[in-house]
Amino acid sequence: MRSSAILFSLSVGAFAIGATEFSPMGMLPDIASGLSVSIPIAGTLIMTYALGVMLGAPFMTLLLIKCPPKTALIFLMSLFTVGNILSGLATDFTFLMIARFITSLNHGAFFGIGALVATRVVEKGKEASAIASMFMGLTVANIGGVPSITWLSQMIGWREAFLLMSTSGVITMIALLLTLPRNMQGQPLHLKKELQVLTSPKVLIALLSTVLGASAMFTLYTYIAPLMMTIAHISPAQISIMLVLVGVGFTLGNYLGGIWANRSVSMTLFGLFTLLAVSMMLLPLIGTNSISGGIILVIWGIASFGVVPPLQVKVMQVASEAQALASSVNVGAFNLGNAIGAGLGASVLSLGFGYPVVSYVGGVVALSGLLLLLTNAQNELR
């Protein structure tokens, strides 16, 4: 019961972080209009957040790893809360970018330290499922949180939506305060040794796999609202429905990815990277109405988030002597992929190509990730 309560509180935090990370995808047209910038320029908010996660993940983890997890995680969620309040008060685009950067600093360390806590409170052999349980909040955010916030931003304004998101940080802090044990100690810090672990070829390949998987996902996800309006001819009001379907796919993928990874991390990754590439290639071809588009988005969502638990477990396995740091850096790698994907999409659009090409480019990135995994597997067998 105690482990379930701990995993639930971590999942609440993941829900809050997921809602604030992914909501701007659906809010981009409103933010762009409200701050008098183009949609590609507004898309750099996604890159700013992702780069903040990438930079903040190792720094915040090293700063807080020796602290009791309860103290560290509550502090990180206080940063989250302040950042969202500042986002809601933003009067120009630069102010909003700074606020989003502040918000992002909690992200990598929360998931890194949280993943370590999750694996410590379950029995051996269920680590992937425990991590999936924590990340479930992230996926549920995409079913209910992101579509609701997108709808609210259209009804009451995007600034008010950010202010509302800050309350989820307060709720998370209360949940962590009530459930995390006081006697759970932090980890000893051996800086030189842990940094050396991160430079090993196995760890770097695992991290690069995460970067490529996330890059493929966010090449499409960053521009999902205008893309679906273009290829499926849906109205802005229907975007929330499409985001719900994506969230359903994310949740199913996260659950299945955790179960499958308990059996075989490598085979799970091979299958899901293949599905990710195929679904992105097919979306512009068959997702030409709300029904077919919704179906392919669910499949794409399953592949996109199905890779998260096995990738997280893979990194922790190959970096067993620096699990907390490796786990948080892997979240940073995911968000580096977020930034790369958003940048790739923006480049495609800036060069004058249409939104369908954005999806094709993401599919090519997914194929490169699959090729990396297959090549690495062959090398390990030699």
* Nearest residue to 93 via CA among 24, 32, 163, 175: 32
Angstrom distances, CA of residue 122 to CA of 115, 130, 288: 11, 7, 45
Token pair of 77, please?
Answer: 């969620």
Spatial neighbors of 281 by CB under 8 A, at least 6 apart, are 359, 360, 363
Q: Which amino acid would we find at residue 80? A: F
What's the token pair of residue 364? 């090519």
User: Quick one: pLDDT at residue 382?
Assistant: 55
Coil, strand or helix at 235: coil
Q: How far is CA 48 from the centre of its chain?
A: 14
pTM over 0.95: no
Question: What is the per-residue pLDDT across 293-326, written as a single tens digit (0 to 9) for each?
Answer: 999 999 999 999 899 889 988 888 887 777 777 8
Distance CA 24, CA 43 (A): 9
Phi and psi at residue 369, in whole multiples of 5°? Answer: -65, -40
Q: What is the pLDDT along the chain (382 residues), one digit of tens a residue?
A: 477 888 889 999 999 998 888 788 778 888 888 888 887 788 788 778 878 888 888 889 888 888 888 999 999 999 999 999 999 999 889 999 999 999 999 998 898 888 888 877 777 777 777 888 888 887 787 677 777 888 888 888 889 999 999 999 999 999 999 998 887 876 666 667 767 777 888 889 999 999 999 999 989 988 888 888 888 888 877 887 888 888 889 889 988 998 888 888 889 999 999 999 999 999 999 988 989 999 999 999 999 989 988 998 888 888 777 777 787 788 888 878 877 898 899 899 989 898 999 999 999 999 999 999 999 887 765 5
pLDDT in tens, 236-271: 778 878 888 888 898 899 889 988 888 888 899 999
Kindly state the percentage of the chain with pLDDT values over 70. 96
Contacts of 22 (CB under 8 A, 6+ apart): 141, 142, 146, 221
| DSSP state string for 300-329 | HHHHHHHTHHHHHHHHHHHTGGGHHHHHHH
Q: What is the pLDDT of residues 39-58, one digit of tens each?
A: 778 878 877 887 888 888 88
Using the structure block, give the residue that is written with the tokens 């190792």: 58
CA distance 203 to 52: 21
